[in-house]
Amino acid sequence: MLIALGIVTGILGFLPLFLSLRLSRCSTSTHALTIGLYGLAGVAISLVILVAGLIACAMLARDGLVGFVVAEGIVFLGCTIAFVVYKNVLAKRKRV
């Protein structure tokens, strides 16, 4: 059960990064600071979600904490890597 909760938390932790990228691309501002703040806000909210899930797991079921952290980390990093590879490699191949 805790590993499934770690997977859900990892996916929810990735969503702010995805949304901040969408917001920065839709922004009409040309200032690098505005675009950077979108990214920084996405990372900050993402870390808050991941840490909140970690604290909740530590308080509810300390014995399953290692499995939770491993599942959370793998899913979060996997989503991030897959999205970056898709945007930078696979999406560019389709345009050519």
Percent of the chain with pLDDT over 70: 92
pLDDT at 80: 83
Task: Answer whether residue 9 shows pLDDT above 70.
Answer: yes
Tokens 């929810």 sit on residue? 12
> Could you read off the pLDDT of 54-73 as tens digits, one per residue?
998 899 888 888 988 888 88
How many other CB atoms are found less than 10 A from the CB of residue 83? 14
> Could you read off the pLDDT of 16-53 as tens digits, one per residue?
988 888 887 777 766 777 777 888 888 899 989 999 98
Of residues 92 and 18, more confidently modeled: 18
Domain that holds residue 79: 2-95
pLDDT at 96: 54
pLDDT at 17: 86
pLDDT at 91: 65
Give the number of domains in the chain.
Answer: 1
